[in-house]
């Protein structure tokens, strides 16, 4: 649906076009018959359509373009006329007889263009005359379009250097003077427009003014295209004159737009060489002008320029661009008291980008910018404005991206101070950005001091800030964050064991503040990092380690004990148990019996006191058995105590099948292949027999509850254990026992009541196949298996 | 009358900011080039006389702002164009990708009566940069796109070195000339016997 106003406008435009076409038609006829008088009459009538006040700038432009095209034909006609002998001076006089001033001036400009081309008068005189005459139109829209017409038709006739219109009397100075004058007049018309008409239409007027802006700005484009405007002339004439207009017009829209135009239409070199003048204008602008955007655009342009060519860099240094920009920003922020924090941060962010591009080696500049930012932020508390925080993240990310190295950022004393002003959420985002940078670049953080600084920087992830805990926290986000911290811990490394130990201690200090939710994520990587260090120390000659050395395996194990203890109070006993066992194994490799024993004891205490879930118990007991089986450091006594306990735990599991499996697994605790001291065949057999009893009991229980016999799986599993020890030469495990077991299983399977269990059948069948296979092997093994009948 | 109309050929150059539209026009019309980047504001044209089959034509070449914020008055100047030049920078993929948008935008706004056959010419500019090492749009790719849009003539140019610019604009002029003029045949519905013109509708000041 078109609004009524828009419909009306379409109607007016339609009527305007119709009137224009009608008069153009008669004008064409007059042109075809070389009737100058009629041609002037109808063209003037045609141009009268541009006298309308009813069209918005957009629609007016459409009408104007049609008139513009028609005037090109008239212009050609004028050219032909002069070729036919008509005096251009006479023509110039003649068109001034048109009744209305607007058509008269359009015609005058059109003839004027031919006049200049004829070179019968100096270009500058004609231009001066035209630009003065145009003062006759003070209606803003009409005046702006008329002057834009003048600008367009004179565009290629300016006495620029090297132009055919340059002469003794005409110089580029005249060309510049002409454009500047036209610009000044247009800007005045444009600025004045806001004061015309009723106050209630202010918004509409602002919109219309905004549409008209390019007509004014185009003059600056024309200036920039004049070849004779060299740096000298730009510096001495063009820029001061343009800025004078911009500052004095005291109009927000004009100031914002024209500053942007100046930056965009003139070349970078000019800006660099006139930085002081240009920047000097900023604090003089109206307080409502969005200076930060324009200033940021300037810095962005200069940054790109610096990045584009290495040859440009010395220029930047020569003019002390950084100092000037820094100074200007300070002044602008000072002058615009009401500038929102986001605005100020945007400015600093642009300046930082500029610095990183232009002076990548000047870390002090970077720190200076951050420091200025801190100053602006101080006393404001945490930022809550989302735009401002976004800008700060950009500000803080820039050095990371540039240097690809967090170590550089850590050297910036103001870096953490800026982070202080972020709200907790953004602080975390920034911390993740930092960790990602480390990951991406494989940055080596290799001293405890650096680690300290780094963890201080990312403390948003390490602990609850301000003691508040956000209940709304997204579980997945939290995991993601903590996993990234875990990865970071793995990245910290020093070749020097002493330093490495210090790093580990520093990390511990920080992660212990993280509370029960974070420790399960952060403690394991630290434990493994410390274990890695232990392994490194094992490779070293004992003597190398001095007496006062901190990093001895013993000390590290002590340290580990504390960490895991903290974890067990979280409580995550299962995780703690795994870590204790891991440590026990490491202590075993370090030949530290008491330490290994201590870890086992801790694991057992946890098992007894904290792990109550039956499934968790099963997992835990198998871990314990597995680890204990591999230990070789223990003397008989310690080993007995531990295996005894493990067997005891196994027999006390909740479910019979679990008991059975754990008990037969315990058999391995008494028979270790590569340890001659651990070959107790009798106790192996005891375990297996006990497992059989439990299997029996399990089956009976199934019989009682389900009315049918249970699966034979457990028996087959035990049979396999028998075969294992038989093969390993355990004298207690003999043919008769194996034979008996096979028969037992066969009978069970054939009984009517047995439950169908294809998996168990297959398992048994393949076990028998194995026996068969071993028999056929011949040799020692074959002989050994020979007596077994299947 | 129509002979006078046909003496003027209107050409519009479109393309992303910084691809070298102004430089191409300046190189062709003035044989000048500047390395400095200067944004264009609004629309602006230069003219050049060209001889073709023993006739003299005036080529009216419209250079446009590539940055949208410097095109505040809209694109009424597209009207009556005889040929549209689409320029891109062979070193910037985005500027090539955007050709399609520029072409469609032009067809919508200028609304030529026969959009299928409206003459376009594509220019891949800045082939001189870094000895061609930084180019990201291959000639093959550009030609394939031109072929898919109804065999648009394609030229690789360097406004800086003046390479191929003359040839490109010759082709542009030739195609502009081939374009059937869309002269709106206007016949006045009433013959104004009195010859006094229409009533002035303007209100406000008498300028």
A9 at interface of B, judged by CB pairs closer than 8 A: no
For A134, the closest chain B residue by CA position comes to B207
Contact residues, chain B, for A220 at CB < 8 Å: 41
End-to-end Cα, chain B, rounded Å: 31
- Summarize pLDDT for A700-731 with one digit per residue, the tens: 888 777 765 567 889 999 999 999 999 988 88
pLDDT at B196 over 50: no
Contact A72 B8 (CB under 8 A): yes
A563-to-A252, A464, A508, A550, A557 alpha-carbon distances in Å: 63, 20, 8, 17, 10
Which of B18, B26, B38, B189 has the most A C-beta neighbours within 10 Å, making it the best mutation to test the interface with A?
A: B38
User: Shortest CB distance from B41 goes to which of A28, A155, A218?
Assistant: A218
pLDDT for residue A524: 94
Same domain, A577 and A440: yes
Which of A103, A224, A307 has the most B C-beta neighbours within 10 Å, making it the best mutation to test the interface with B?
A: A224
pLDDT at B206 over 60: no
For A142, the closest chain B residue by CA position comes to B207
Contact B46 A22 (CB under 8 A): no
Same domain, A21 and A138: no
d(CA A625, CA A665): 7
For A106, the closest chain B residue by CA position comes to B207
Mean pLDDT is lowest, of A244-253, A421-430, B21-30, B171-180, for A421-430
User: Shortest CB distance from A76 goes to which of B7, B67, B187?
Assistant: B7
Q: How confident is the model at residue A671 (pLDDT cuts 50, 70, 90)?
A: very high
Q: What are phi and psi of B64, to 5 degrees?
A: -125, 165
Contact residues, chain B, for A228 at CB < 8 Å: none
pLDDT for residue B5: 47
Query: Do A560 and A530 contact (CB within 8 A), yes or no?
Result: yes
Contact residues, chain B, for A19 at CB < 8 Å: 198
Write out the two tokens for A223.
């200036």
Q: How confident is the model at residue A251 (pLDDT cuts 50, 70, 90)?
A: very high
pLDDT at A203 over 50: yes
| Close Cβ partners of A691 (under 8 Å, ≥ 6 residues apart) | A660, A661, A663, A664, A667, A714, A718, A721
Whether a cis peptide bond, with omega within 30° of 0, leads into A571 is yes
| Count of CA atoms in the C-beta half-sphere (13 A) of A647 | 19
Cβ neighbours around A318 below 10 Å, total: 10
Residue whose entry in the numeric block shows the structure tokens 């730009």: A234
- Summarize pLDDT for A593-624 with one digit per residue, the tens: 999 999 999 999 999 999 989 999 999 999 99
State the smallest CA–CA distance between residue A536 and chain B in angstroms. 49
Contact residues, chain A, for B26 at CB < 8 Å: 225
Give the burial class of A527: count Cβ atoms within 10 A of its Cβ; 0-12 exposed, 13-18 middle, 19 or more buried.
buried
Contact residues, chain A, for B37 at CB < 8 Å: 267-268
pLDDT for residue B145: 96
User: Shortest CB distance from B38 goes to which of A61, A210, A267?
Assistant: A267
B158: which DSSP letter?
B
Chain A residues 264-303 with CB within 8 Å of chain B: 264-269
pLDDT for residue B190: 61
Cα B64 to chain centroid distance, Å, stands at 8
A31 at interface of B, judged by CB pairs closer than 8 A: yes
Mean pLDDT is lowest, of A42-51, A256-265, A302-311, B15-24, for A302-311
d(CA B163, CA A731): 96
Q: Work out the average pLDDT over A282-300.
A: 89
Mean pLDDT is lowest, of A239-243, B63-67, B185-189, for B185-189
Query: Do A631 and A639 contact (CB within 8 A), yes or no?
Result: yes
How many domains is chain A built from? 4
The CATH class of the B2-178 domain is: alpha beta
Angle between helices A553-568 and A573-589 (to 10 degrees): 170
User: Shortest CB distance from B40 goes to which of A32, A213, A221?
Assistant: A221
Question: Is residue A782, in this structure, part of any structural domain at all?
Answer: no
In chain B, alpha helices (H): 2-5, 21-30, 93-97, 99-110, 139-148, 165-178
Cβ neighbours around A164 below 10 Å, total: 12
Q: How confident is the model at residue B198 (pLDDT cuts 50, 70, 90)?
A: very low
d(CA A446, CA A425): 28
pLDDT for residue A709: 59
| Close Cβ partners of B21 (under 8 Å, ≥ 6 residues apart) | B13, B14, B15, B40, B63, B64, B66, B87
User: Shortest CB distance from B73 goes to which of A29, A61, A72?
Assistant: A61
Q: Work out the average pLDDT over A135-148.
A: 96
Question: Is residue A381, in this structure, part of any structural domain at all?
Answer: yes
Which of A118, A134, A152 finishes a domain?
A118
User: Shortest CB distance from B207 goes to which of A61, A139, A218?
Assistant: A139
Same domain, A473 and A525: yes
Which of A61, A212, A270 has the most B C-beta neighbours within 10 Å, making it the best mutation to test the interface with B?
A: A61
Q: Work out the average pLDDT over B160-180.
A: 92
Q: How confident is the model at residue B205 (pLDDT cuts 50, 70, 90)?
A: low
Contact residues, chain A, for B69 at CB < 8 Å: 260
pLDDT for residue B203: 46
Query: Do A622 and A665 contact (CB within 8 A), yes or no?
Result: yes
Chain A residues 87-116 with CB within 8 Å of chain B: 100-102
Query: Do B122 and B86 contact (CB within 8 A), yes or no?
Result: yes
Which of B28, B75, B191, B207 has the most A C-beta neighbours within 10 Å, making it the best mutation to test the interface with A?
A: B207
A463-to-A451, A506, A770 alpha-carbon distances in Å: 16, 15, 58
Question: Is residue A710, in this structure, part of any structural domain at all?
Answer: no
pLDDT for residue A425: 81
Same domain, A199 and A311: no
d(CA B41, CA A162): 24
User: Shortest CB distance from A51 goes to which of B41, B77, B202?
Assistant: B202
Same domain, A367 and A500: no
pLDDT at B149 over 70: yes
d(CA A56, CA A47): 17
Same domain, A346 and A244: no
Question: Is residue A505, in this structure, part of any structural domain at all?
Answer: yes
Which of A16, A104, A183, A217 has the most B C-beta neighbours within 10 Å, making it the best mutation to test the interface with B?
A: A217
pLDDT for residue A378: 83
Query: Do A247 and A284 contact (CB within 8 A), yes or no?
Result: yes
Contact residues, chain B, for A26 at CB < 8 Å: 188, 192
Q: Work out the average pLDDT over A648-668.
A: 93
Question: Is residue A515, in this structure, part of any structural domain at all?
Answer: yes
A52 at interface of B, judged by CB pairs closer than 8 A: yes
d(CA A296, CA A339): 15
pLDDT at B185 over 80: no
Question: Is residue A625, in this structure, part of any structural domain at all?
Answer: no
pLDDT at A790 over 90: no
d(CA A370, CA A414): 6
- Summarize pLDDT for A542-584 with one digit per residue, the tens: 555 555 667 788 889 999 999 998 887 778 899 999 999 999 9
DSSP bridge pairs for B86 = B14, B122
Contact B207 A102 (CB under 8 A): yes
Same domain, A45 and A143: no
Q: Work out the average pLDDT over A283-290.
A: 89
- Summarize pLDDT for A92-119 with one digit per residue, the tens: 999 988 889 999 999 999 999 999 998 8
Contact A22 B79 (CB under 8 A): no
d(CA A235, CA A217): 19
d(CA A99, CA A761): 116
Q: How confident is the model at residue A452 (pLDDT cuts 50, 70, 90)?
A: very high
Question: Could you tell me where the beta strands, DSSP code E, fall in A141-198?
Answer: none
- Summarize pLDDT for A455-490 with one digit per residue, the tens: 988 988 888 876 555 556 678 888 999 999 999 999
What is the three-class DSSP state of B85?
Answer: strand
Mean pLDDT of chain A: 89
d(CA A319, CA A272): 7
Mean pLDDT is lowest, of A396-405, A440-449, A747-756, for A747-756
B134: closest CA among B89, B181, B75? B89
pLDDT at A408 over 50: yes
For A215, the closest chain B residue by CA position comes to B42
Same domain, A381 and A439: no
In A359-495, alpha helices (H): 363-377, 386-403, 406-410, 415-419, 424-441, 448-457, 459-462, 475-491
The residue range of the domain holding A256 is 122-266
Name which residue leads in pLDDT, A789 or A169.
A789
Q: What is the 3-state secondary structure (H, E, C) of A480-500?
A: HHHHHHHHHHHHECCCCHHHH
d(CA A557, CA A584): 9
Query: Do B5 and B181 contact (CB within 8 A), yes or no?
Result: yes
Q: How confident is the model at residue A780 (pLDDT cuts 50, 70, 90)?
A: confident
Chain A residues 339-378 with CB within 8 Å of chain B: none
Give the burial class of A289: count Cβ atoms within 10 A of its Cβ; 0-12 exposed, 13-18 middle, 19 or more buried.
buried
Contact residues, chain B, for A45 at CB < 8 Å: 197-198
Which of A49, A64, A65 has the most B C-beta neighbours within 10 Å, making it the best mutation to test the interface with B?
A: A65
Question: Is residue A772, in this structure, part of any structural domain at all?
Answer: no
pLDDT at A184 over 60: yes
A355-to-A516, A566, A647 alpha-carbon distances in Å: 43, 46, 70
Name which residue leads in pLDDT, A3 or B23.
B23
Query: Do A669 and A646 contact (CB within 8 A), yes or no?
Result: yes
DSSP conformation letters of A30-93: HHHTT-HHHHHHHHHHHHHGGG-SSS-HHHHHHHHHHHHHHHHHHHHHHHHHHHTT--HHHHHH
Residue whose entry in the numeric block shows the structure tokens 């009315």: A707
Which of A354, A382, A414 finishes a domain?
A414
Q: How confident is the model at residue B189 (pLDDT cuts 50, 70, 90)?
A: low
Contact residues, chain B, for A142 at CB < 8 Å: 207
pLDDT at A302 over 70: yes
pLDDT at A585 over 90: yes
State the smallest CA–CA distance between residue A353 and chain B in angstroms. 20
pLDDT for residue A388: 83
Q: Work out the average pLDDT over A81-94.
A: 90
State the smallest CA–CA distance between residue A330 and chain B in angstroms. 28
Q: Work out the average pLDDT over A739-767.
A: 85
A137 at interface of B, judged by CB pairs closer than 8 A: yes
Contact A156 B47 (CB under 8 A): yes
A234 at interface of B, judged by CB pairs closer than 8 A: no
Contact A139 B205 (CB under 8 A): yes
Pairing of strands B43-52, B55-64: antiparallel
Cα B196 to chain centroid distance, Å, stands at 39
DSSP bridge pairs for B25 = none
Cα A312 to chain centroid distance, Å, stands at 29
Contact residues, chain A, for B205 at CB < 8 Å: 138-139
Q: Radius of gyration (Cα) for chain B, nearest Å?
A: 19
A422: closest CA among A461, A385, A370, A477? A385
Contact residues, chain B, for A155 at CB < 8 Å: 44-46
- Summarize pLDDT for A350-391 with one digit per residue, the tens: 899 899 888 888 889 999 999 988 888 887 777 777 888 888
Same domain, A441 and A589: yes
d(CA A242, CA A257): 13
Contact residues, chain B, for A100 at CB < 8 Å: 206-207
Query: Do B63 and B25 contact (CB within 8 A), yes or no?
Result: yes
Contact B36 A101 (CB under 8 A): no
Counting every residue written for chain B, the total comes to 207
Same domain, A584 and A462: yes
Query: Do A451 and A445 contact (CB within 8 A), yes or no?
Result: yes
Question: Is residue A734, in this structure, part of any structural domain at all?
Answer: no
What is the three-class DSSP state of A657?
Answer: helix
User: Shortest CB distance from B42 goes to which of A138, A218, A224?
Assistant: A218
Same domain, A185 and A69: no
pLDDT for residue B197: 45
A83-to-A77, A87, A132, B5, B55 alpha-carbon distances in Å: 10, 9, 28, 19, 18
Same domain, A337 and A360: yes
| Count of CA atoms in the C-beta half-sphere (13 A) of B113 | 7
**How many CB pairs below 8 A link A and B?**
136
A238: closest CA among A214, A253, A258, A210? A258
């Amino acid at each position: 649906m078109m609004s009524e106003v828009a419909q009306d406008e379409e109607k007016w435009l339609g009527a305007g076009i119709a009137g224009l076409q009608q008069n153009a038609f008669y004008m064409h006829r007059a042109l075809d018959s070389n009737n100058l008088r009629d041609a002037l009459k109808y063209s003037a009538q045609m141009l009268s359509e541009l006298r309308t006040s009813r069209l918005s700038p957009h629609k007016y432009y459409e009408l104007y373009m049609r008139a513009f095209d028609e005037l090109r034909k008239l212009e050609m006609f004028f050219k032909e006329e002069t070729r036919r002998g008509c005096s251009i001076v006479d023509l110039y006089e003649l068109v001034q007889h048109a009744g209305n001033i607007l058509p008269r001036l359009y015609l005058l400009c059109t003839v004027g263009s031919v006049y200049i081309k004829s070179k019968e008068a100096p270009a500058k005189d004609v231009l001066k005359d035209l630009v003065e005459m145009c003062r006759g139109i003070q209606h803003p829209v009409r005046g702006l379009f008329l002057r834009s017409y003048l600008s367009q038709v004179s565009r290629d006739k300016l006495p620029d250097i090297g132009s055919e219109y340059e002469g003794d009397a005409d110089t580029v100075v005249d060309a510049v003077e002409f454009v500047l004058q036209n610009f000044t007049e247009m800007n005045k018309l444009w600025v004045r427009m806001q004061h015309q008409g009723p106050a209630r239409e202010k918004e509409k007027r602002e919109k219309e003014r905004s549409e008209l802006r390019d007509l004014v700005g185009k003059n600056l484009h024309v200036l920039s295209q004049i070849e004779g405007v060299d740096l000298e002339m730009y510096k001495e004439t063009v820029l001061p004159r343009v800025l004078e207009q911009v500052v004095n017009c005291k109009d927000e829209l004009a100031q914002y737009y024209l500053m942007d135009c100046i930056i965009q239409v003139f070349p970078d070199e000019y800006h660099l060489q006139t930085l002081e003048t240009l920047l000097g204008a900023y604090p003089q602008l109206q307080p409502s002008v969005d200076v930060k955007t324009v200033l940021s655009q300037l810095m962005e342009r200069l940054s790109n320029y610096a990045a584009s060519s290495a040859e440009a860099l010395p220029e930047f240094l020569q003019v002390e661009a950084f100092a000037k920009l820094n100074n200007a920003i300070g002044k602008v922020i000072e002058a615009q008291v009401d500038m929102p924090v986001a605005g100020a941060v945007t400015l600093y962010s642009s300046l930082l980008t500029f610095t990183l591009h232009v002076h990548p080696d000047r870390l002090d500049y970077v720190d200076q910018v951050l420091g200025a930012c801190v100053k602006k932020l101080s006393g404001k508390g945490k930022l809550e404005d989302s735009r401002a925080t976004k800008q700060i993240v950009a500000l803080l990310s820039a050095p990371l991206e540039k240097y690809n190295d967090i170590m550089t950022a850590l050297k910036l004393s103001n870096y953490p101070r800026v982070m202080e002003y972020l709200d907790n959420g953004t602080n975390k985002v920034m911390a993740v950005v930092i960790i990602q940078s480390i990951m991406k670049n494989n940055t080596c953080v290799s001293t405890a001091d650096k680690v300290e600084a780094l963890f201080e920087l990312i403390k948003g992830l390490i602990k609850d800030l301000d003691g508040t805990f956000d209940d709304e926290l997204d579980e997945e986000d939290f995991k993601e964050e903590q996993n990234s911290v875990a990865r970071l811990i793995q990245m910290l490394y020093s070749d020097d064991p002493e330093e490495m130990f210090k790093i580990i201690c520093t990390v511990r200090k920080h992660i212990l503040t993280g509370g029960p939710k974070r420790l399960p994520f952060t403690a394991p990587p630290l434990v493994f990092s410390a274990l890695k260090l232990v392994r490194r120390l094992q490779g070293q000659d004992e003597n190398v380690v001095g007496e006062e050395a901190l990093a001895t395996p013993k000390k590290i194990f002590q340290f580990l004990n504390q960490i895991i203890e903290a974890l067990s109070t979280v409580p995550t006993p299962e995780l703690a148990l795994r870590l204790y066992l891991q440590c026990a194994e490491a202590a075993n490799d370090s030949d530290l019996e008491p330490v290994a024993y201590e870890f086992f004891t801790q694991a057992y205490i946890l098992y007894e006191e904290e792990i109550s879930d039956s499934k968790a118990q099963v997992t835990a007991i198998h871990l314990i058995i597995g680890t204990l089986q591999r230990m070789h450091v223990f003397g008989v006594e310690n080993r007995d105590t531990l295996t005894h306990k493990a067997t005891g735990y196994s027999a006390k599991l909740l479910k019979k099948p679990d008991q059975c499996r754990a008990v037969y697994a315990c058999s391995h605790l008494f028979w270790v292949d590569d340890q001659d001291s651990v070959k107790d065949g009798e106790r192996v057999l005891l375990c297996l027999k006990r497992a059989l009893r439990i299997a029996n009991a399990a089956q009976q229980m199934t019989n009682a509850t389900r009315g049918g016999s249970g699966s034979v799986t457990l028996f087959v599993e035990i049979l396999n254990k028998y075969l294992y020890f038989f093969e390993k030469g355990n004298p207690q495990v003999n043919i008769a026992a194996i034979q008996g077991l096979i028969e037992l299983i066969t009978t069970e399977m054939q009984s009517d009541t047995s439950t169908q269990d294809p998996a168990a059948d297959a398992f048994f069948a393949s076990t028998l196949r194995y026996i068969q296979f071993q028999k056929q092997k011949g040799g020692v093994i074959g002989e050994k298996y020979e007596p077994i009948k299947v | 009358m129509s002979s006078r109309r046909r003496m003027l050929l209107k050409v519009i150059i479109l393309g992303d900011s910084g691809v070298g539209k102004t430089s191409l026009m300046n190189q062709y019309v003035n044989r000048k080039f500047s390395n400095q980047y200067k944004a264009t504001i609004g629309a602006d044209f230069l003219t050049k006389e060209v001889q073709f089959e023993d006739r003299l034509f005036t080529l009216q070449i419209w250079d446009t702002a590539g940055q949208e914020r410097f095109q505040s008055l809209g694109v009424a100047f597209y009207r009556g164009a005889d040929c549209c030049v689409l320029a891109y920078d062979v070193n910037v993929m985005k500027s090539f990708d955007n050709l399609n948008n520029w072409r469609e935008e032009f067809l919508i706004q200028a609304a030529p009566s026969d959009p299928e056959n409206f003459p376009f010419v594509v220019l891949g500019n800045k082939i001189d940069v870094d000895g061609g090492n930084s180019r990201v749009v291959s000639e093959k790719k550009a030609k394939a796109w031109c072929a898919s849009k109804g065999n648009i003539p394609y030229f690789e140019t360097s406004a800086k070195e003046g390479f191929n610019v003359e040839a490109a604009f010759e082709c542009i002029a030739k195609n502009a000339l081939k374009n059937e003029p869309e002269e709106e045949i206007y016949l006045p519905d009433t013959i104004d016997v009195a010859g006094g013109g229409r009533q002035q509708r303007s209100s406000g000041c008498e300028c």
